[in-house]
Amino acid sequence: MLVSVVGTQITDLLTDGLGVSLHISTSVFAVALAAIFFVWYRVERTLSIHDIVTRSREMSYWSAILCMFALGTPAGDLATEALGLGFTWGAVAFGALIGISYAAWRMGGNAVLTVWIGYILTRPFGAALGDLLTQAKTYGGLGMGAMWTSALFLSVIVMLVGLAQFGLNAGRSAQATK
């Protein structure tokens, strides 16, 4: 979660503090992410998250993740605000693209590629969804505010981690009884 906050703060500093346009910051972070993936693959010959077993691969992974989070905010804001999709349609559009990447994987698409595409798309999806929930109704949001939205997201995260842990332990228990 901390990487999410840092990535968002980097973008907010550029956009709000230094006046860098969403077009430029989205482009710069997209190129930087592509460069990270290029170098990572060139050095390691893999981008699979299952093969992150060395310090070099871990550094490449975390560099990609930080860049991805920094990219997500301006990409989401660019789509919803500057290009006029609005928060609802922005969340729907990015959610649909995530669904398409999942479907591509299910139909035999390259697992590494489809996972990374889906993961990259979760960042602008999160930005659009976060804005939809937090922004005032007069701006096209639902007006929940940052505190309630953060509490909602934290609750969902805790619930999903709990479910994943329960499912993992239930699977282990079933394996142990065999």
**What is the pLDDT, as a whole number, of residue 173?**
57
Q: Is 168 exposed, middle or buried (0-12, 13-18, 19+ CB in 10 A)?
A: exposed
Quote the CA–CA distance of 84 and 174 in Å, as a whole number. Answer: 51
For the chain, the average pLDDT equals: 89
Predicted pLDDT at 176: 54
For residue 114, the model assigns a pLDDT of: 96
Q: What is the pTM of this model?
A: 0.81
Please determine, for residue 178, whether its predicted confidence score (pLDDT) is greater than 60.
Answer: no
Tens digits of per-residue pLDDT, 113-139?
999 999 999 999 988 998 999 999 988
Whose CA is closest to 124, among 145, 98, 143? 98
Q: Within a 10 A sphere around the Cβ of 59, how many other Cβ atoms?
A: 12
pLDDT tens by residue, 24-35:
999 999 999 999
| pLDDT tens column, 56-115 | 999 999 999 999 999 998 999 999 988 889 999 999 999 999 999 999 999 999 999 999
pLDDT number for residue 177: 53
